[in-house]
Structure 1
Amino acid sequence: ETSNVPLDKLTPKNKRYKIKVKVKEKSPTKYLEGKKAFQKLVFEDDEGNEMRGTLFEDDIENFKTVLEHQKEYIISDAPIRNTNPMFRHKKGDYYLSFGGTTTIQSLNPNSGPIVPKYTPNAEVPPTSSEDDRYDILGVIVHLEDTRKKKTRNGYEFDVLNIVVVDASVQRMADALVISVYGELATKECAKLASW
Structure 2
Amino acid sequence: MYNGEYEIANAHIKPCEEQWKVSTSDLDYQMHFGKPTIVERVKNDERPILPQYRSIAQIPKRADPNDKYDIAAIVLFVEDKPRRIVREQGHVICVREITVIDHSTEQPLIISAWNDLAEDECDLLMKKTEQLPVVGFTALKVSPHKGFSMTTTMSTTIQHAAVGERPRSLEDWVANHNIKLCEIQARILTLKGLFAVHQTSTIAALRMKKAQTTLQDERITFNCEVSDGTGTLPITVFTADAEKIFQALAEDIFRMKHSENLTRFEAMKSKLQTTPFSIKVGPNTTLSMNNVLQWVLKKIIQTAEPPLNSPTA
Q: TM-score scaled to structure 2, two decimals?
A: 0.30
More strand by share: 1
More helix by share: 2
Q: TM-score scaled to structure 1, two decimals?
A: 0.45
Larger radius of gyration: 2
